[in-house]
Structure 1
Amino acid sequence: MTGPTDDLLPDPRKRAIRLEIAVVLAVTFGLSAYTAFVSLIEAVLLGLSGQKVTLNRKLSPIDLINLALNLASVFQLIAWGLLGLYLLWRSGFGPSRIGLGRFRWRPDLLGGLGLAALIGIPGLGLYVAGRALGIGVAVVPSELGDTWWRIPVLLMVAFANGWAEEVVVVAFFMTRLRQLGLSPTVVLVTSSLLRGAYHLYQGFGAGVGNVVMGLVFGYAWRRTGRLWPLIVAHGLIDAVAYVGYALLAGHLGWLDVTP
């Protein structure tokens, strides 16, 4: 299939594209990969299996301030995705060309559900295996407490994650790498390694699992040209983890993440 990544740039433009990639990654998931790697080193030095990481933290003892600060992370993720979308648009890659045209319920929603099941169920098993083998940290999806805005905000964070990661790491990054002349296989692997890198703060198992997720998602996008199913799938995976933990952690013993 001819995808949205087939427009190669002339040599004089490649330097600008390399700079653009560097700048975007420096303020988005490249920086996240750096901090994740540093966090992994710290966790290994302190004893990886005994460490704990919280994904959605309580940021203030004042409820409305806590809400405002957690919403800020949602706004940041939306802005990251919009940055990638804007840079692609201004260079001729409008939303339709990268798979963000009109949402089509059957292929986009059902495709997203299928991808979520394909990745989410084995991903849970990989997390449990990683904890058992001592190569993963204890992940607490939420510590927001029983507040009235907890579930809506967790859902917003989940789908904001999906929006930002799939627009930047798949649509933007893969498109730009193809324009630089890299082969489809190298582009897919590079994007997947980036995805795995910025999840290393959760341990080696999470890094490997997200590389696999990147390979599957990147291949699906390249084959179908649709980005919506990836965003839906990613949002659903995170939503189940966040909301499921928030609702069930006190009732199911196996959800105890005490290191």
Structure 2
Amino acid sequence: MSSPAPDKPLITKQLGLHGTDARTRRGLKIELLIVLGLSLGKSGIYSIVNLVDKMSRAPLGSQTTSLNNSLNQRQYFDLTYQLLDIFFALVPVMLVFYLLWRLPGGNPFVRLGFDAKRPFRDLGWGAGLFLIMGLGTLGVYALGRALGLTTIIVPAALDEYWWTIPVLVFSAIRHSILEEVIVVGYFFERLGRLGWGTWQMICASAVLRGSYHLYQGIGPFIGNVAMGVVFGWVYAKKGRVMPLVIAHAFLDIAGFVGYALLGSAIGLGT
């Protein structure tokens, strides 16, 4: 079997993408900007502003960034706000699948590989990526802290309730679905229709991924760009986001729940 032409993105063959007319291309560009403006593109802009704000106050290494913060002082209102926050963060993902469903190309879940057709293979790839990215993340964080390019990161700042761990797991799954479906699956699909090459899409996706982590410092930006390159390359080869979702979920669960259970005891966050 002959390999794809070198000037065509590998993902084009896997997703069955095809050329589009000028009107459709214009519509896809507008759609892409709206989806990003409602989701992670907006987060990227806020993150850049937040980084500038932090850098204008004090050295990054002396500052702290808290994730998964409490949203209310009263337990069950806090739980309600946490669950609402998780649900509404996933609405852009619902929008993406609806938009993909409206255009020809078949089942959008199958097109992006966000299904359970290959559970063991997806789990294997996800676990492998988790191990590689997990070690890389720890290394980048340690180096960033040593160089003063990364803030102290507190992955879980929720109060301790009976529901704290389940909410942290749900939060991790939320992040994994939101980021991998939009920043990889949807992004590649739309850019592929606009004629972008494989490595153009990989690099654009990686930079976008890094941008919305800038509020944590320069180190996490670099680390997430590297992660984005690896994840984008795997997606271009496999045409499935599920292994990426699994790997990302494992990474965030380990970070969020691990910190909540052991962080203070072993002195993490310093």
Shorter-chain TM-score tier: over 0.9
Deviation at 1:112, TM superposition (A): 0.6
| CA pair 13-201 structure 1, distance change in 2 beyond 3 A | same
Residues 111-122 of structure 1 aligned to structure 2 (within 5 Å): 111-122=125-136
| CA pair 95-230 structure 1, distance change in 2 beyond 3 A | same
Question: What is aligned with 1:218?
Answer: 232
Residues 196-235 of structure 1 aligned to structure 2 (within 5 Å): 196-235=210-249
- 1:50 matched to 2:62: yes
Question: What is aligned with 2:84?
Answer: 72
Question: What is aligned with 2:138?
Answer: 124
- 1:99 matched to 2:113: yes
Deviation at 1:91, TM superposition (A): 1.4
| CA pair 5-76 structure 1, distance change in 2 beyond 3 A | farther
- 1:13 matched to 2:24: yes
State the 4+ residue runs in structure 1 displaced beyond 2 angstroms: 5-8, 101-105
Distance in 2 between residues matched to 1:102 and 1:158, nearest whole Å: 19
2:153–2:269 CA contact under 8 A, matched in 1: no
Question: What is aligned with 2:207?
Answer: 193
Distance in 1 between residues matched to 2:98 and 2:134, nearest whole Å: 30
- Worse overlay, 4-13 or 156-165: 4-13
Question: Identity over the aligned pairs, expressed in percent?
Answer: 36
- Worse overlay, 231-240 or 182-191: 182-191
The superposition leaves residues 184-243 of structure 1 with CA deviations (integer Å, 9 ceiling, x where unpaired) of 111111111000001100100100111111111111111011111000000110000000
- 1:87 matched to 2:88: no
Distance in 2 between residues matched to 1:256 and 1:200, nearest whole Å: 18
What amino acid is aligned across from residue 119 of structure 1 in structure 2?
M
2:266 counterpart (245, 252, 256): 252
Unaligned runs of 5+ in 1: none
Secondary structure at 1:46 match in 2? coil
Question: What is aligned with 1:241?
Answer: 255
Distance in 1 between residues matched to 2:262 and 2:144, nearest whole Å: 22
Secondary structure at 2:19 match in 1? coil
- 1:148 matched to 2:200: no
Distance in 2 between residues matched to 1:197 and 1:231, nearest whole Å: 19
Deviation at 1:7, TM superposition (A): 2.3
Deviation at 1:77, TM superposition (A): 2.6
Deviation at 1:5, TM superposition (A): 6.3
Question: What is aligned with 2:6?
Answer: none
What amino acid is aligned across from residue 165 of structure 1 in structure 2?
E
2:177 counterpart (135, 159, 163): 163
What amino acid is aligned across from residue 114 of structure 2 in structure 1?
L
Deviation at 1:141, TM superposition (A): 0.6
Unaligned runs of 5+ in 2: 1-9
What amino acid is aligned across from residue 29 of structure 1 in structure 2?
L
Give the aligned CA root-mean-square deviation in angstroms. 1.3
1:81–1:165 CA contact under 8 A, matched in 2: no
1:5–1:178 CA contact under 8 A, matched in 2: no
Distance in 1 between residues matched to 2:138 and 2:88, nearest whole Å: 27
1:9–1:180 CA contact under 8 A, matched in 2: yes
Distance in 1 between residues matched to 2:62 and 2:264, nearest whole Å: 21
Secondary structure at 1:53 match in 2? strand
Calculate the TM-score normalised by the size of structure 2: 0.91
Distance in 2 between residues matched to 1:201 and 1:13, nearest whole Å: 35
What amino acid is aligned across from residue 50 of structure 2 in structure 1?
S
Deviation at 1:71, TM superposition (A): 1.2
Question: What is aligned with 1:59?
Answer: 71
Deviation at 1:59, TM superposition (A): 1.1
- 1:3 matched to 2:17: no
